[in-house]
Amino acid sequence: MSNALVVVMSTPELLELTLSHLPMRDLLVTAPLVSKTWQALTLTPALQRALFFQPDPSSLSVHNPLLVELSRPSSLCRKARTAGRGRTPSPSA
- Over residues 12-70, the pLDDT tens digits come to 899 899 888 989 888 888 888 998 988 888 889 988 988 888 888 887 788 888 888 88
pLDDT of amino acid 86: 54
20 in a structural domain: yes
Q: Does the pLDDT value for residue 93 go beyond 60?
A: no
Q: Give the total number of structural domains in the chain.
A: 1
Whether the model pTM is above 0.75: no
52 in a structural domain: yes
Q: Tell me the Cα Rg of the chain.
A: 20
Q: Does the pLDDT value for residue 92 go beyond 80?
A: no
pLDDT of amino acid 8: 85
78 in a structural domain: yes
